[in-house]
Structure 1
């Protein structure tokens, strides 16, 4: 994997690295642009945060909510490491973009992936920065700062769950996926 930092995304999908479509490629049924994707993900993240914080409060007490500021700060510091964890799942060139205006950072690559590798790539950072710290706080309530960090990180990964769910539901057995501009496609390799 070779990571290329590209900076601010100009909202033009044609500017993203991409290869020609594979034969018989099928687009994922997903948001067609970053504005729609950001709106869906931001609403879902907010709705997910509420029950996570309620659970954190009942398990860790007031400290869970008091540590929300520190957990949020830690989550912000993990934005780039989050994307790096996505990037390490690629074997070839991968490109990192920022889109702070719509609350997004993302990586794209032009290689194809199996369904399972795509799902692992999508979920890996959320497991490391979100679910593991949150579960630790559920086991050890005095680690409430980890719970707050995990809760915010879990919510920041909503776009990744969105991608993983689309792969699980839409990709048939034996298919492969790839990114083309801003959207994902799947295809069955010719034998």
Structure 2
């Protein structure tokens, strides 16, 4: 992987890494507009976090009052996890990968134009959510006294909602043995 930090996304999709389309490439059915995508991702994030906070409160209720420092640390670390989240996506690429931020819309993202199998694309989308979100949240479910770890997991699972959209699209739209690639902000698949 060759990592490039590209800085602030200027809103012009033509400025993102571009790949000549495969002759049989089919675009994913996904939001075409960055504002619509970020709205869906942010709403989904909030909904997931609301659902996950219910067991968090039920299981951690007796630990939360005495865990203020853990809660603050978990919240701050969760808020700062966008950069490591995108780095975990980036390490799943084998060639050039570019990281951008669009903090006005609450997004940070990576773009690489190499071809990936469906399984590798799903793993690339899921990797940071698994490591930063699901594993810490499961640790909290096993050890409810780790309320800071639980809060960190909730935040990281929620902020991965855009990745879950990509996973859903690839499962629903990509046939077996197809390949996918990113071009600008959009995903394409081909046989």
- Quickly name the TM-score band, shorter chain normalised: over 0.9
Paired with 1:68 and 1:54, the residues of 2 have a C-alpha distance of: 16
| 3-state SS of paired residue (2:146) | helix
Paired with 2:54 and 2:116, the residues of 1 have a C-alpha distance of: 37
Q: TM-score, normalised by structure 1?
A: 0.95
Aligned to 1:169: 172
Mapped contact 2:75–2:148 kept (Cα < 8 A): no
Moved more, 55-64 or 144-153: 55-64
**CA deviation after TM superposition for structure 1 residue 63, in Å:** 4.2
Matched, 1:99 2:132: no
Mapped contact 1:133–1:149 kept (Cα < 8 A): yes
Paired with 2:89 and 2:77, the residues of 1 have a C-alpha distance of: 18
Matched, 1:130 2:133: yes
In structure 2, stretches of 5+ residues that fail to align are none
**CA deviation after TM superposition for structure 1 residue 127, in Å:** 0.3
| 3-state SS of paired residue (1:179) | strand
Q: TM-score, normalised by structure 2?
A: 0.95
Paired with 1:35 and 1:72, the residues of 2 have a C-alpha distance of: 26
**CA deviation after TM superposition for structure 1 residue 68, in Å:** 4.7
Mapped contact 1:119–1:164 kept (Cα < 8 A): yes
CA-based RMSD: 1.3
Alignment counterpart, residue 77 of structure 1, candidates 60, 66, 80: 80
Mapped contact 2:136–2:153 kept (Cα < 8 A): yes
Paired with 2:102 and 2:63, the residues of 1 have a C-alpha distance of: 32
Matched, 1:157 2:164: no
Aligned to 1:148: 151
| 3-state SS of paired residue (2:43) | helix
For this pair of structures, how many residues does the alignment match? 188
Aligned to 1:28: 28
